[in-house]
Amino acid sequence: MATFKSYTLGKFTITRPWVMGILNVTPDSFWAGSRCDTQQAIEQRVATMIDEGADAIDIGAYSTRPGAAEVTVHDEMARLDRAMHIVRAMAPDLPTSVDTFRADVAQFAVEQLGVDIINDVSGGTLDNDMFATVARLRVPYVLMHMRGTPATMQQLTDYDNVVADVLADLRVKLDKLHDCGVRDVLIDPGFGFSKTLEQNYQLMARLADFHQLKAPLLVGISRKSMIYKALDCTADQALNGTTVLNTLALQAGTHILRVHDVLPAVEARTLVGKIMDY
């Protein structure tokens, strides 16, 4: 069991693991239960996450599942604009993150909508301006590991050693971010992105190794195929498996759990905290 280390990220200090609730303002995210594409659905989703104890909300307006439809920059911004106005009205002080790989969208989200964190599934590989943009915006940045694009990533799973190779890739990009002047970086190993089922579990087994990057760790495995394929069930039936893996992630010293189901993650944190004393 790894020791939990507190981190300061910009104006936030993480002294115990955060539970980051997912708000997908899309019609086609991989789990149908997470899709919120009307004002009423967004309001209900945000209210539930607040009631269940979310520490932050991560808003996604462009599904990155394989086969998802392309979304224009204009449409992504419009979706984010509507969602952020609702979130800010209901929870003005709750930290917010935007899940985007586009530098223009990141700039809009921070400067026009007041978003606190940029969560980039591509780790800067899909927009060459992302690192410089985040440096200029001076907000925390989630650096995730992925190869290729959402359409091609599952064809790019050839590693010599998945743990060592992912660590090496993230280390190079982390150095580039630091060279750009970005200091507040979170690390995400990218479960489900350019990884086979077996590789996902190799990463989970060695999750504590990622602390050698000396950055807070974000884990997003909620209802993903690594769970429902391993259990021969569906995403709808993958909550229990999600909670099991979230518990293991907490024991490995994870700082943020990105989840669809806030309350089970909050309860897992409470029980693991009885052992880890945070």
Annotated catalytic sites, by residue?
224, 258
Q: State how beta strands 18-24 and 185-188 pair.
A: unpaired
For 89, the 3-state DSSP assignment is helix
Dihedral angle sign, alpha carbons of residues 237, 49, 259, 82: positive
Q: How many Cβ atoms sit within 10 Å of the Cβ of residue 253?
A: 19
Please choose, from the candidates 222, 274, 215, 213, the residue with its C-alpha nearest in 3D space to the C-alpha of residue 249: 222
Separation CA 265–CA 243 (nearest Å): 7
Residues 6+ apart with CB under 8 A from 195: 157, 162, 203, 226
DSSP H helices in the chain = 39-52, 73-90, 103-113, 130-137, 162-180, 197-205, 225-228, 239-251, 262-276
- d(CA 198, CA 207) in angstroms, rounded, equals 14
